[in-house]
Structure 1
Amino acid sequence: MLVALLLIVGGIVLFDTRRRVMELEDRIIMIETEAQPAAAPGAPEPVRAEHAPAEEQPPFTPTAAARRSPWTETFAEPEVAAEPEVIGDEQIGEAAYVQPASGFEDLFGRRLPIWAGGVTLAVAGALLVKYSIDSGLLSPIIRVLLGLIFGAGLIGGAEVALRQEARVRDVRVRQALAGAGLATLYAVILAAANLYHLMGPGMAFAGLAGVTALAMGLSLRFGPPSAMLGLVGGLAAPALAGADEPNIPLLSCYLALTVGGLCALSRTQRWMWLGVGALIGGAGWGGLLLLSGALDLASSLSVGLFILALGIAFPLFAFSGSRATLIRMVSAVAASAQMAALIATGGFTLLHWALFGLLSAAFLWLSGREPALRRLMPVGLAVGLLLSGAWPAPAASSFAPVILGLVLIYGGGALWRLWRPAGGLIEAGQVAGAALGSLAVSALHFYRGSAADDLRFALMALVASALPALAMAMGWSNPAQRSDARAALLATGAAILLVLAGIFGLAGWTLPLVVGIVAVALLLLAAQAGNARIEWSGWAFAFTAVASLVSGGRGLDELGRLAGMGADAAPGIALLRWSGVALALTLFAWRARLAEGRLVAQIVGALCAYGAIAQVAPVLWLGPIAALGLPLLAEGARRLPPLRLLPALATLFLLTLLWAAEPLLAWVEPAVMSLLGRPLLVNLLPDMTDMLLHLALPAALIALALVRGKAAIGPIGRQLAAIVIGLFGTIALHILYRQAFAIADHAAFVRAGLAERTIWEGLLIMAGWAAWRRFNRRGVALTLLAAGIAHNLLYTLLLHNPLWAAQAVGSVPLFNLLAPAFAIPLAGLWLAGRIMPEPAERCARFRDGGFMVLILLFAFATLRQLFTGPMLNLRHLSAGEDIGRSVLAIILATGFLLWGIRRGGRDWRIASLLLMLGAVAKVFLLDASGLTGLLRIASFLALGFSLIGIGWLYSRHLRADTH
């Protein structure tokens, strides 16, 4: 009792605080409204009294311009003309009232005492009853009667205060008296029931209900505090009555009447807080009733109807305005959740499902009445499907009408509204969701994987697909379906159901074919309907077909065949699967309107076409087959716009490169090691079969595609193709060339290595000359020349130079391999200068330096061959050869000088001097010390004449330059 009293007092205080804030806002607005406008320019300034007495100032009077609200209407103070009272020479009346000096005085001196007085009266009544109990003066019945009389008297006093408003002049007096009286009546009834046991729970419940009704009635007369007490007391009455086993139908009826009455009062008085509080309290009681345990038939029916009233009826008539829609939506969602709990706790009986059907029908009616509440329908459908899925072991005879009812209410209602002005994407989603959801929950409960189940559910899926298909057909002639997503959503739902029908009714390996067929159907449907959104759905199904193609054990095995791994036990089925998906993607690449999608479809379609062939073709021929597709596609691309088939061509080109990767890597590894000086033996290279099928033949097919489809691949593609052709062709020729010498061990490498390299380098130089002279391909010519020169410099002159490596050069002087070996780079540099004269002129010094080095190496190697025979790397050095080196150096110096004088090459002359100085130094320091007799004299004579001749040549040349 004390707790209830404290709650009432707290509610009154909070209510008064809010009222005061609202009154303050009204006063501010009123002052701003009545403010005088500024005087116009030039107008005379009004005369003001300098010392106007305070009593002559007009009092504050509310006007009609003040803002009015349900709160101000209730608490507005009446305007009563006060008769002035004469005291001495002054008149003091109501108009001379002075406001309190501070807000503190206004709150604690003028406002709170009235409410405190009402609370005090209620407490006094309680103390009076307690005193009578402690003293034993009154019997329990008398105490209860006196309490009732006291409470009624307080309410009567409130009525007197209302009728004597002219004297009381404060609306809070009657509100405080009425609140104290209602609180007293609640307390007396609870004491009579729970303390004295003078009445049973039912009678106490009825008494509390009567007080609640009285509170709602008094709220119309005395204002919101009485309504607040009615709200708190009315909703708390069933719990305060103290019944151990309440009558749930009666309780539901009481709660419905109480909440309904409060909602009606909320609407008439425009107290939204009262209606919202009543709905919240009613929802709380609904949850408590559901938690009370299993309900019998009457209880379930009463609770279900109460939930319907809370979710639909009460919010519908209790609220209006901008916030009403939100309140109705929240109430409906809460009702759906509570109805779901009722069905779950009640055992999923048909009665509970019938109540849910009533709620669903109410949703349908409500969404038609207020279009903003259309979002309730998907919520109801989702709750119904979830409940159907959670139904434990339903009988088919009970499950079928429930599912059909859900489809009829939600799917049928959405179908009727779909293409009307109020219809939209929500209705399309309901139609598709009803069809898909009903099939899903049916399969969840009744599908067991047998052949009969497969056939049954395949037929069910086909029948279910008719619902979204029918919905789309109904709007086929509607112009709106070409611009929104309704048709696409319906088409997608029907397509999913058709795929499910295929999953149930056909073998598992047909899934990619079924999905591909559905994807093509969506593509064609999009073209007929002119709706690009349907095409997007088709794209999703197309790539779902690809995903299903490579998923699972079968898909992974078939995918391995693309790389030549594994063997398919059923190549015919694999060919059919991959061909079907490739055909579907080809149609998308041809007919689709999405340009980016066509590019992707070409790539994936080309891979699937290659995959189809890979399922039946021998592994050895997969690379050539991929390369064969290039000229075929290039030939077809000649009849299409440029670059139309570039993605497919690029895909097959990449496949060709991947198949060439193995022989390329097999060639690259020994080639890289040869850069470090290890001989490149023939047994380290790819075999002839791999070279022919994966390098030579693809190079020829790429060249054919390049010739037949120049416009189809673009300039970048042509350059890339030319590079690959040159790379593959060169490596293939290199492997083939190596087979002719068959150098398989170190002895063979010593014997024929120099010859093999020299001929290869010569072929490269000759190919460069032919590319320049015959085909006018300067770029190709320079590339070949650079390759020949680089090969010679690296392998012949550096790594395997006969002067320091074991390489046989031949036994006949001058007619051996040294001349061509050292002439090849000279010829290459000379040809490069002829092809590109301007760059060669800028690099003349470097080119002349190369010439000098090559001449020196060739001359000393030839001298070495005269004394040692085929092998030049022997350590023995004879005296004659040593003297021959000095003489050769002098001869070369003379030749360099003559050439430099003739060509005007200063670098040649400097090289001559350096070479001569080196020869002089060698003769004086080395040769002279080791010679005797005529040899020493001859060496000095030769050196002397050489020096004289060189000096003469220099002096003559310099003199000619001077003149």
Structure 2
Amino acid sequence: MNALTLLLALGVGAAFFVVLRRLRFVEQELRRVESLVSSPESHESRFVATPQNARPEAVGTPATPDVVRPAARVIAAAHRSADPAIARAPIRAEPAPALNLESLIGGRLPIWIGGAALVLAGFFLVRYSIESGLLGPAVRTLLAALFGVALIALSEAARRLPATAEDPRVAQVLAGAGIASLYGTLYMAAALYHLIPPLTAFVAVVLVTAAAMGLALRHGPPTAVMALIGGFVAPLVAGFDAAGIGPLLVYLGLFIAALFGLAIHRGWGWLALVASIAGFGWINFLIVALPGGDDLSAVGAFTMLLAVCASAALPATGTHNRWLRLAPLVAGFVQLLALAPALEFGALAWSFYLVLAGAALFLSWRRSLYLPAALAALGFLLVLEGLALLQPERSATPIAAIVATLLFALPGHLLASRGRSWAALALGGTAGPLLVAHACAPSLLAPAIWGVIELLAAGACARLAWRVRSDAGDPVLVAATLAAALLAALGLARFLPGAWLGLPLALAVLGLAGWARVARAPALFVLPALPYLAALVVAAIPLFGLAKLIVASLAGDSLPYLALPALPDLFRALALPSAALLVALLDARQLGRARRLVGSMAIGVAILLAYALAKQALAIAALPRFVEFGFVERALLTQACLAAGWILLRRRRFTSLAKILLGLGLLRLVWFDLLVLNPVIEPQAVGALPLLNAAVVHTALAAFWLWLLPKARGWRVGAALLTIATALAVIRQATHGSILTGPVGTLENGGYSAALLGVALFWLWRGIAAGIHDLRLAGLALLTLVTFKVFLIDAAALDGVLRILSFLALGVVLIGISWAYSRFLARPAVEVQVAPPQD
């Protein structure tokens, strides 16, 4: 009981706030009219001829009530028509008094609280008689009806009595309370006590509604608000479920319809909005209060009707705010989405939603203002479809998905020329339900049937993309292109084994790249990256195997061949998409800003595939075979990278790819051949021939590639270091043979010095002869290092005549170098004479 009283008090308070806002505006208008109504003498004194642009002085408004009698209006009109000067004079009313706490509490709230108290008194009197058993149902209903009629009669009397005629609020309160009482009486008579049959109750509700509309037209918004409060609160007081949910919903529907009619007739958008909010409030209350079953089905039907009627009523009242116009439809979709699980996603729940969606599309066809609601309907429908398909029982959902596809796709395609929103509806209706069904319930159809349907949908999306094509990059064009590519890839995949998913993705890459070239929209050139990234996701398992292989190889694993994924799976998943993307990259416009990132990924995958393929030739799967062919295999792979990068860089084609290949080759040479798998440390055969062995040829070729690259200091430094490595490899192989492991002997140590000295002398000679400053400096630096090595290391290992001869040879060489270099430095610089300009 206390909770019900609190609920009623809160509802009444909220309604009072709305009424007071409206009353402030009404009182301002009434005071403006009142300023016109006075005696002719008052008019003559109020409006005095003044100079142009001067404000006429207004006499203070007499202390009269807010209401102007009709006779006074007639007098004022006659007086103004008799005096043209006065008729033409500007009229300025005194500003209405500010709405402060004193005027609110002392002058406005009491009368409205009194009206609410009358309504509640009648309701609780009936309730008390029910609980105490004092009166029978018929007597209670009759007394309640008489109470309502008496209140309406008193309102008419208050309108005519001199004491109350000047204050219209008295009549408004009494009329509103009487209407609310009559609504509650009819509900009790028909639904609670079954004193009158349904047809009679319907006729009575129509009559009371007509009376309410007439009184609201006669008394204004306050009466309408009182009727609204009473009509919505009456079922709560009498017990909302006493007679079942069906009669309650019929009552609410008729009552809201009457309010909508009144709002449309008077242009009261606020009344239609408040009625809609109250109706949805009842829906939420019933969803929480009812256990389910048929009652919730009726609530769903009521929700659908309320959303449609409110969406039609609000514009008819003159409501201009587009979001307020759309709010009932969106609220209806949300309510039906919340109701669907309670209705077990059955045919009834789907029918409610699809009918409401059809209404949204119809309204959108009539006025484009409602298109956002149609788009929201499509979005909520996809959510509802996904939730329904995840349920064990989904018999009605596939049929509903087909109906939804036709419902949104057909008008969308037919009206796509109207604008972007219709094209979006066409696209969402064509692809959305199909993709959701495929993702949530792939077992619904056979693979071939899925494939045919998806290819047909892809054709429809492609046709839409063709219709909206432009070089401006419209979002609908991009979305339609993506949907067509996705559906085509899925459709083709249905006719192929699962391992061949890379084929449709490769075709999607090529198709998107070709379409971008045709449409020439910049946004389309990025799209080929998406199916390629999807291919990488699909090939996650083979890529993970390659990642493990790389990690093991970098850690020094001598048998990485054992960690290679199955070659057929690897190539089926990655080879075709990577090749397709690399072909697309021949067009410099493809991939846009993602070109560097995605292109590098494709190049990296292609290199990994080439690596996996190359590892098959020698198939090093055992340690003896690694000793025999390990270094040779690594050298061949490294040289392939270096040679390919060198050729591309020399031809100035695909510079980024060339640098990647060169960097990869050098990284392999340094990391594997000089550090973790150096043949000096790990036993590996390099060949028995003194100069034509793998170790010497490998480093010499690497130095050769770098020496012949464009003259950049970084390349020359690398070439110089590799030249030194070649010289050392020559001596090491000459002293150890095919297997380079073992200690460094005296002869080998001296050989290193001699070889390095020869390299230094060659660099000095070449630098002096060709005028290459960097090469001369490199020769001098190496010569210095060799000198220190001889004095600090080699001399310590020699004794007797060998030490003397080594120092003698070193001295002669150094003296000769110094003499030759000093003569080079002493040469005069070539003077370049510039001829004077001729006149």
Question: Would you say same fold, with TM above 0.5?
Answer: yes
Say if 1:377 and 1:822 are closer, same or farther in 2 by CA, change over 3 A: farther
How far residue 646 of structure 1 moved from its aligned partner, in angstroms, is 0.8
Q: Paired residue for 2:729, among 735, 749, 753?
A: 735
The residue number in structure 2 matching 1:416 is 414
Q: Aligned equivalents of 1:254 and 1:789: distance in 2?
A: 108
Say if 1:769 and 1:20 are closer, same or farther in 2 by CA, change over 3 A: same
Give 1:249-648 correspondences, 5 Å limit.
249-291=246-288, 292-296=290-294, 302-320=298-316, 321=318, 323-391=320-388, 398-421=396-419, 423-443=422-442, 446=444, 456-473=446-463, 476=466, 480=470, 483-549=473-539, 551-553=540-542, 556-557=545-546, 560=549, 565-567=560-562, 568=564, 570-571=566-567, 574-575=570-571, 578-594=574-590, 597-600=594-597, 603-617=600-614, 618=618, 620-632=632-644, 635=647, 642=652, 644-648=653-657
Q: Aligned equivalents of 2:433 and 2:743: distance in 1?
A: 84
Q: Which has the higher mean CA deviation after the structures are superposed, 123-132 or 277-286?
A: 123-132
The aligned amino acid for 1:779 is: D
The residue number in structure 2 matching 1:703 is 704
Q: Aligned equivalents of 2:749 and 2:699: distance in 1?
A: 31
Q: Which runs of 5+ in 2 are unaligned?
A: 37-45, 76-93, 554-558, 619-629, 828-839
Q: Paired residue for 1:18, among 21, 26, 46?
A: 21
Please give the secondary structure, in 1, of the residue aligned with 2:770.
coil
Q: Aligned equivalents of 1:612 and 1:184: distance in 2?
A: 84
How far residue 220 of structure 1 moved from its aligned partner, in angstroms, is 1.9
Tell me if 1:161 matches 2:163. no
Please give the secondary structure, in 2, of the residue aligned with 1:817.
helix
8 Å CA contact retained: 1:415, 1:427: yes
The residue number in structure 2 matching 1:649 is 658
Q: Aligned equivalents of 1:835 and 1:692: distance in 2?
A: 38
Q: Which has the higher mean CA deviation after the structures are superposed, 499-508 or 570-579?
A: 570-579
Say if 1:770 and 1:337 are closer, same or farther in 2 by CA, change over 3 A: same
Superposition CA RMSD, Å: 5.3
8 Å CA contact retained: 2:707, 2:715: yes
8 Å CA contact retained: 1:761, 1:824: no
Say if 1:660 and 1:165 are closer, same or farther in 2 by CA, change over 3 A: farther
The residue number in structure 2 matching 1:174 is 171
Tell me if 1:775 matches 2:770. yes
How far residue 606 of structure 1 moved from its aligned partner, in angstroms, is 3.9
Q: Which has the higher mean CA deviation after the structures are superposed, 280-289 or 784-793?
A: 280-289
Q: Aligned equivalents of 2:571 and 2:120: distance in 1?
A: 94
The aligned amino acid for 1:465 is: L
CA radius of gyration, larger in: 1
The aligned amino acid for 1:628 is: A
Q: Aligned equivalents of 1:566 and 1:668: distance in 2?
A: 15
Please give the secondary structure, in 1, of the residue aligned with 2:265.
helix
Q: Aligned equivalents of 1:812 and 1:755: distance in 2?
A: 11
- CA offsets, 1:215-270, max 9 Å, x none? 44422221222212222222223333336553333332222111111122222223
Q: Aligned equivalents of 1:47 and 1:277: distance in 2?
A: 42
The residue number in structure 2 matching 1:944 is none
Say if 1:760 and 1:613 are closer, same or farther in 2 by CA, change over 3 A: same
Please give the secondary structure, in 2, of the residue aligned with 1:345.
coil
Say if 1:238 and 1:693 are closer, same or farther in 2 by CA, change over 3 A: farther
The aligned amino acid for 2:460 is: L
- CA offsets, 1:382-440, max 9 Å, x none? 43343333336677875543222121112223222224446344543443323322333
Q: Aligned equivalents of 1:46 and 1:604: distance in 2?
A: 80
8 Å CA contact retained: 2:642, 2:702: yes
Say if 1:587 and 1:109 are closer, same or farther in 2 by CA, change over 3 A: closer
Say if 1:134 and 1:348 are closer, same or farther in 2 by CA, change over 3 A: closer
Q: Which runs of 5+ in 1 are unaligned?
A: 49-55, 63-71, 84-96, 447-452, 671-681, 839-963
How far residue 170 of structure 1 moved from its aligned partner, in angstroms, is 1.9
8 Å CA contact retained: 2:451, 2:490: yes
Identity %: 23
Q: Aligned equivalents of 1:37 and 1:469: distance in 2?
A: 79
Say if 1:531 and 1:622 are closer, same or farther in 2 by CA, change over 3 A: farther
- CA offsets, 1:186-220, max 9 Å, x none? 7888999999x896998999888976664444222
Please give the secondary structure, in 2, of the residue aligned with 1:726.
helix
Say if 1:10 and 1:36 are closer, same or farther in 2 by CA, change over 3 A: farther
Say if 1:203 and 1:268 are closer, same or farther in 2 by CA, change over 3 A: closer
Tell me if 1:819 matches 2:815. no
Say if 1:261 and 1:110 are closer, same or farther in 2 by CA, change over 3 A: closer
How far residue 302 of structure 1 moved from its aligned partner, in angstroms, is 4.5
8 Å CA contact retained: 1:585, 1:604: no
TM-score with structure 1 setting the length: 0.66
Q: Paired residue for 1:755, among 734, 750, 759?
A: 750
8 Å CA contact retained: 2:180, 2:228: no
How far residue 808 of structure 1 moved from its aligned partner, in angstroms, is 1.4
8 Å CA contact retained: 1:519, 1:538: yes
The aligned amino acid for 1:648 is: L
How far residue 721 of structure 1 moved from its aligned partner, in angstroms, is 3.0
Say if 1:432 and 1:695 are closer, same or farther in 2 by CA, change over 3 A: farther
8 Å CA contact retained: 2:724, 2:759: no
8 Å CA contact retained: 1:499, 1:518: yes
How far residue 348 of structure 1 moved from its aligned partner, in angstroms, is 3.6
How far residue 656 of structure 1 moved from its aligned partner, in angstroms, is 0.6
The residue number in structure 1 matching 2:834 is none
Q: Which has the higher contact order (CA 8 A, sep 6+)?
A: 2
8 Å CA contact retained: 2:416, 2:426: yes
Q: Aligned equivalents of 1:324 and 1:820: distance in 2?
A: 102
How far residue 812 of structure 1 moved from its aligned partner, in angstroms, is 7.3
The aligned amino acid for 1:590 is: L
Q: Which has the higher mean CA deviation after the structures are superposed, 410-419 or 1-10?
A: 1-10
Please give the secondary structure, in 2, of the residue aligned with 1:616.
helix
8 Å CA contact retained: 1:231, 1:278: yes
The aligned amino acid for 1:318 is: L
The residue number in structure 2 matching 1:232 is 229
Q: Aligned equivalents of 2:122 and 2:475: distance in 1?
A: 70
Please give the secondary structure, in 1, of the residue aligned with 2:156.
helix
Q: Aligned equivalents of 2:182 and 2:601: distance in 1?
A: 83
The residue number in structure 2 matching 1:721 is 715
Say if 1:24 and 1:628 are closer, same or farther in 2 by CA, change over 3 A: same
How far residue 725 of structure 1 moved from its aligned partner, in angstroms, is 2.3
Say if 1:692 and 1:485 are closer, same or farther in 2 by CA, change over 3 A: farther
Say if 1:128 and 1:531 are closer, same or farther in 2 by CA, change over 3 A: closer
How far residue 20 of structure 1 moved from its aligned partner, in angstroms, is 5.7
The aligned amino acid for 1:514 is: P
- CA offsets, 1:57-112, max 9 Å, x none? 453799xxxxxxxxx9x9777683899xxxxxxxxxxxxx9x99997775566556
Q: Aligned equivalents of 1:13 and 1:499: distance in 2?
A: 61
- CA offsets, 1:311-333, max 9 Å, x none? 12232123355645323422222
The aligned amino acid for 1:286 is: I
How far residue 540 of structure 1 moved from its aligned partner, in angstroms, is 1.6
8 Å CA contact retained: 2:703, 2:723: no
The residue number in structure 2 matching 1:790 is 785
The aligned amino acid for 1:80 is: A
8 Å CA contact retained: 2:188, 2:238: no
How far residue 702 of structure 1 moved from its aligned partner, in angstroms, is 6.5
